[in-house]
Structure 1
Amino acid sequence: MTQLSILTAQNTETMSTQVGNPWANIGIFLVFVAVTLYAVLRASKKTKTATDFYAGGRSFTGTQNGTAIAGDYLSAASFLGIVGAIAIYGYDGFLYSIGFLVAWLTALLLVAEMLRNTGKFTMADVLSFRLRQRPVRIAAATSTLAVSIFYLLAQMAGAGALVSLLLGIDSELGQSLVIAVVGLLMIFYVFIGGMKGTTWVQIIKATLLLIGVGIMSVWILALFGFNFSALLGEAVNVTNNPDLLEPGLQYGTDTLSKIDFISLGLALVLGTAGLPHVLIRFYTVPTAKEARKSVVWSIFLIGGFYLCTLILGFGAAALVGPETIANAPGGQNSAAPLLAYELGGTILLGVIAAIAFATILAVVAGLTIAASASFAHDIYGQVIKKGKLDAKGEMRAGRATVVVVGVLAILGGIGAQGQNVAFLVALAFAVAASANLPTILFSLFWKRFTTRGALWSMYGGLSSSILLIVFSPVMWGAETSFFPDVDLALYPLTNPGIVSIPLSFLLGWLGSVTSKTLENPATQAEMEVRSLTGVGAEKATEH
């Protein structure tokens, strides 16, 4: 994910022009805001209980939730970054699309149904089911908040940088205002509408995104007589690089880069099934069957999107050219907007700009509701109040958390201007893959798993992934590093997954086998039956 970084200040500082008509871009975006505000206000009238606020009343169908998952998962980095990566690196760029899509098989086969059967609102509900509540909930909430906050900072900072390209705002004050506007909209959506409002924002955004990339893909293919080989040939001719269609242009130049790709692939494929804003979506459906349907439907939509990125990426290489893309504000991340402007001028660019804004807005709303549920339900409701907090009190705590997280995201996004935010996204996936997924799998599938194992796995995965990234080239010594002029990189790879993920599994096993006492076997048996069959799941969803 580090190669798919959202626009950085190094890009925005060189900006001298904007693409298209900024007023058209703003106008189309305001239409989207008006539509989603209407949906959120309608949803707010039905948000009365904690189940409504955190899980949308479990009233969404598998198809609706699958569409919302697609809206939650397809971030601005995916939309802008992957198209640019394919345009510049060809075959190697498309490997990102494959990695993101394959990741959903992990979610479908291992966690979707079992999470829905076992949990109530958050990942911590599952992890603490058969283990000691207090320490496990604190650890799970810490991990969830870490993933959510870092992902939020990247999205918010990306919002300001994206605006500099599409709306012609190149001052730090202007970008800060845009970040504040996006943050306030996000706070309003989640505060008023809860999960119901957030879900409808994500459904609308996913629909617009899929329609937008679909139209552009058909348009590009039509220009080449619906002959994909002709498109590839033109891309090779324009770039004057036959290696565009061969593996190894970005990865494979040396042994270290190959290992780096394996590390990144592990983080992406395993991290998706541990992302809190994705996991929380499994609780918005009424049954485990609908949870499975959600994932199948989301795979269908996400798969279609990533196939379109293949056409858009090579289309950008053929119609825009790598030199134009590389020299544009935002570098390779500008490939999709430049392609839209090349195809349909100001109108199509305005639509794509609105979709890009919508993408950021939907993702930050999903992350905020996940962070809110984690703190209000797990820390405040279950640890501080020891489960004695009523539904209204928990909703008040949730809404207060939304405001706090939103303000932190705005301030963090403003503070991240002028810095490379790629490491934030990499950290989010690395933490999810290292801390969350091993503990979830151990809890669901290993009877011998103990509280000590859970704590060692979560805290070990969290701390090791952070430390490895802090002392990697993502932070130090390289042109795109957080501190490019100082080289303190002790870890040579840009992603910690190849080390931190196995380490987290090892710590979970080691902590469990060294525990002197086993957990309650009756509770473990109940969790196994419930996770596999769904018996008693409805009892877990009552509040």
Structure 2
Amino acid sequence: MLHLDAASTSPGDPWLNIAIFGAFVAITMVIVFRASRNNKTASDYYAAGRSFTGGQNGSAIAGDYLSAASFLGIVGAIAVTGYDGFLYSIGFLVAWLVALLLVAELLRNTGKFTMADVLSFRLKQRPVRIAAATTTLVVCFFYLLAQMAGAGGLVSLLLGIGDKLGQSLVITVVGALMILYVLVGGMKGTTWVQIIKAVLLIAGAAVMTVWVLAINGFSFSTLLDNAVATAGTPAILDPGLKYGVSEVAKLDFLSLGLALVLGTAALPHVLMRFYTVPTAKEARKSVVWAIWLIGIFYVFTLVLGYGAAALIGGEKILAAPGGANSAAPLLAFELGGPVLLGLISAIAFATILAVVAGLTITAAASFAHDIYASVVKKGKPAPGAEVKVARRTVVVIGIIAIIGGIGANGQNIAFLVALAFAVAASANLPTIVYSLFWKRFTTQGALWSMYGGLASALILIALSPVVSGTPTSMIPGADFDIVPLSNPGIISIPLAFLLGWLGSVLDKGIESPAKQSEMEVRSLTGIGAEKATHH
């Protein structure tokens, strides 16, 4: 778009790619406008008026969860590091069992719109809401970084833009589009974009998977043999190519696994989806739908990753603009030429837009509902004011995400998302589990756990090789990587659980037992949840 003379470095035809993108954005915009006609109340704007069925919400959860990391990051990780790359898929999928068994139904029964509603239900409102809103905003910010970096890499590959300035421009355009979607559509518009995107993504991946298998005579072992032949080493079928190099790498893997499995049940934008269904039964059903859709998709990533390794080869993938993240688009070009590449890339782009919209509305709801309406206005905002504040917050978050995305450009996305999971698992999960299951939990315990988990995760990330000390770090020249682990989960998650326990045991004040019993009854049975929905 900016340098069409550089089109030779882009697979496919940049103008065709732009046309497919444009058509996609136009169609989804129409849907968002139609869906947004009845966004009158806060419940309409944040929870889509609780009008979605379990199946629709499950598809939207899949659409929200199968981010650019799942599609571009994991296929790239498998193509380059083989077996170890597939561990991301397994971690992301197993995590749903934790979400289903521990939180989905209980949260739907207890809350209204945000995670802080649940956490502050039986504790002191003001400090707990501020803490929960803070952790929500930080997690959303990390996740947004990953998506924006993905958008930059993907669109640059398609338009053949190699320079930093061009990529920064691309990220800015994506940010502006996302702000528009969320401002107009609210949760209802966002949900429809996610449902359409989930269907397209899974269908697109299915077509490519069948195609790759067909080339290899529908034999998975032939595919693996070809991948080994291209790579020139059988190591890509064995564990340990990435996480087996040293003792530190093994610990790092354990840390990553913990973050993936425990982080999902505490991701604010996934939790918020449970509030868009009318009953707890539909909340359960939506998780089952999501597990099926996500599970099928992750099986596809295995074939696509090894397909890219066999047909293109790791070295070529790493040399392309966007690095490992370009494996899926390059595979599409290898299979179906410019048209398939354009379609798959438009789907990947839609993926980024849908996920980013979901994150932005979560962050905006958290700020407007938890801080503005509940803390600043003490639960009595003027009619319509809360949604106004939410919409202004969307613009601010969008601008911050654009700046951050330009900074994180070029990092592997699956890895950046794993950091968001680690922060969620450290700052949110212990408090959610304690709130739902432990009678002695107090406000002090919640604050220690949330702020302690958040601070420890952020400090460990800042002092890790992610930020400095290696050629691929965010600040390549600097060197203050005191902590050898790339993912902080193994230290920060147990620490946050410990702090929550310690803070509660040392707290002299006792929380209201009546509130605690009411929360227990409501979370298990849903009695009283409907009343909370309407006032």
TM-score, normalization by structure 1: 0.95
Q: 1:435 and 2:435 equivalent? A: no
C-alpha separation in 2, matches of 1:504 and 1:530: 26
Q: Report what 2:286 is aligned to.
A: 294
Look up the match of 1:221.
213
Q: For residues 51 and 195 of structure 2, what CA distance do their matches in structure 1 show?
A: 14
- Residue 437 of structure 2 is aligned to residue 445 of structure 1: yes
Q: What's 1:455 paired with?
A: 447
Residue number in structure 1 paired with 2:464: 472
Query: 1:523, 1:491 → 2: CA distance?
Result: 42
Is the aligned partner of 1:168 residue 2:146? Answer: no
Q: Tell me what 1:97 maps to.
A: 89
Following TM superposition, by how much is the alpha carbon of 1:341 offset from its aligned partner in structure 2, in angstroms?
Answer: 0.5
Matched AA of 1:242:
P
Q: What is the alpha-carbon distance in structure 1 between the residues aligned to residue 76 and residue 144 of structure 2?
A: 22
Matching of residue 124 in structure 1 with residue 116 in structure 2:
yes
Q: Relative to 1, partners in 2 of residues 1:166 and 1:146: Cα closer, same or farther, differing over 3 Å?
A: same
Distance across 2 between alignment mates of 1:183 and 1:225 = 43
C-alpha deviation, 1:133, in angstroms: 0.1
Report the secondary structure of 2:113's partner residue: coil
Matched with 1:4 is none
SS in 1 for 2:12: coil
Aligned: 1:83 with 2:68: no
- Distance in 1 separating the partners of 2:310 and 2:404: 38
Distance 2:411 2:231 in 1: 30
Deviation at 1:485, TM superposition (A): 2.5
Pairwise CA distance, 1:424: 4.9
**Cα distance, 1:423 vs. partner?**
7.1
Find the counterpart in structure 2 of residue 3 from structure 1.
Answer: none
The residue that corresponds to 2:520 in the other structure is: 528
Judge which range, 137-146 or 175-184, deviates more: 175-184
Contact 2:364–2:390 (8 Å) recurs in 1: yes
Q: CA deviation at 1:483?
A: 2.0
Structure 1 stretch 402-411 or stretch 491-500: which is displaced more?
402-411
Matches within 5 A, 1:33-112: 33-112=25-104
Would the aligned equivalents of 2:162 and 2:321 in 1 still touch at CA under 8 Å?
Answer: no
Is contact 1:423–1:475 with CA below 8 Å preserved after alignment?
no
Q: Which amino acid aligns with 1:181?
A: V
User: How far is 1:335 from its partner?
Assistant: 1.1
- The amino acid across from 2:122 in the alignment is R
Q: Structure 2 CA distance, aligned partners of 1:285 and 1:527?
A: 20
Which one of the candidate residues 263, 266, 275 is aligned to 1:283? 275
1: CA distance, partners of 2:413 / 2:215: 36
Q: In structure 1, what is the Cα distance between the partners aligned to 2:77 and 2:292?
A: 23
Deviations 1:480-531 (A, max 9, x none): 1122222211111000000000000000000000011210000000000000
Q: 1:372 aligns with which of 364, 371, 394?
A: 364
| Kept after mapping to 2: 8 A contact 1:87/1:314 | yes
Counterpart of 1:387 in structure 2 is: 379
Corresponding residue for residue 314 of structure 2: 322
Match of 1:481 in 2: 473
Assess if the C-alpha contact under 8 Å between 2:360 and 2:397 holds in 1.
yes
Residue 332 of structure 1 deviates from its aligned partner by: 1.8
Q: Which amino acid aligns with 1:221?
A: L
* Contact 1:205/1:362 (<8 A) preserved: yes
Query: In the alignment, does 2:183 pair up with 1:187?
Result: no
Q: How many angstroms apart in 1 are the aligned matches of 2:87 and 2:235? A: 15
Q: Deviations over 1:13-62 (max 9, x none)?
A: x9981111111111111111111111100111121111010000000011
Percentage of pairs with the same residue: 73
* Aligned position for 1:332: 324
Cα distance, 1:165 vs. partner? 0.9
Structure 1 match to 2:3: none
Report the more deviating stretch, 342-351 or 223-232.
223-232
Q: CA deviation at 1:130?
A: 0.2
Give 1:312's aligned amino acid.
Answer: L
Cα deviation for residue 157 of structure 1 reads 3.1
Structure 1 regions of 5+ residues with no counterpart?
Answer: 1-13
Residue 399 of structure 1: how far off its partner (Å): 1.1
Of stretches 361-370 and 149-158 in structure 1, the one that deviates more from structure 2 is 149-158
- The letter for the 2-side match of 1:60 is F
Larger CA deviation: 347-356 vs 161-170: 161-170
Superposed displacement of residue 417, structure 1 = 4.5
What are the equivalent positions in structure 2 for 1:335-354 lying under 5 Å apart? 335-354=327-346
**Paired residue type of 2:86:** F
Counterpart AA for 2:50: R
- SS of alignment partner, residue 488 of structure 1: coil
Q: Is the aligned partner of 1:231 residue 2:205?
A: no
- Where do 5+ consecutive residues of structure 2 fail to align? 1-5
The aligned residue for residue 6 of structure 1 is none
Residue 245 (structure 1) aligned with residue 237 (structure 2):
yes
Instruction: Check conservation: 1:420, 1:481, Cα contact below 8 A.
Output: no
**Offset at 1:390?**
4.3
Offset of 1:431 from its aligned partner?
A: 1.2
SS at match of 1:286: coil
> Residue type of the partner of 1:105?
L
Task: Quickly say closer, same or farther: Cα 1:361–1:43, change in 2 above 3 A.
Answer: same
- The one-letter amino acid of 2:235's match is D
Partner of 1:10: none
Moved more, 303-312 or 327-336: 327-336
Residues in 1 aligned to 2:7 and 2:126: alpha-carbon distance in whole angstroms:
50
Runs of 4+ deviating beyond 3 Å:
414-427
The alpha-carbon distance between structure 1 residues 245 and 417, as it changes in their structure 2 partners (threshold 3 A), is closer
Q: Could you list the per-position Cα deviations for residues 410-437 of structure 1 after superposition, in whole angstroms to 9, with x for gaps in the alignment?
A: 2332344577888753432111010101
Q: Is residue 513 of structure 1 aligned with residue 513 of structure 2? A: no
CA distance in 1 between partners of 2:86 and 2:150 (Å): 22
Corresponding residue for residue 484 of structure 2: 492
> Hey, what's the Cα distance between the residues in 1 that align with 2:406 and 2:247?
38
Give the 3 Å change call, closer, same or farther, for CA 172–253 of structure 1 in structure 2: closer
CA distance in 1, matches of 2:136, 2:190: 18
Structure 1 CA distance for aligned equivalents of residues 415 and 330 of structure 2 = 25
- The 1:225–1:416 alpha-carbon spacing in structure 2 relative to 1, beyond 3 Å, is closer
Q: Which digits, 9 at most, give the CA deviation of each residue in 1:215-254, with x for residues without a partner?
A: 0001111112211111112211222211222211111222
Does structure 2 conserve the Cα–Cα contact (< 8 Å) formed by 1:423 and 1:474?
A: no
Cα distance in structure 1, aligned partners of 2:77 and 2:117 = 38
In the TM superposition, residue 149 of structure 1 has moved relative to its aligned partner by: 1.6
Task: Quote the Cα distance in structure 1 between the aligned partners of 2:452 and 2:487.
Answer: 16
Paired residue secondary structure (1:151) = helix
Alpha-carbon RMSD: 1.6
Name the stretch that deviates more: 288-297 or 243-252.
Answer: 243-252
Tell me how far apart the structure 2 counterparts of residues 366 and 252 of structure 1 sit (CA, whole Å): 36
Would you say the 8 A contact 1:40–1:192 is kept in 2? yes
Counterpart residue identity of residue 169, structure 1: I
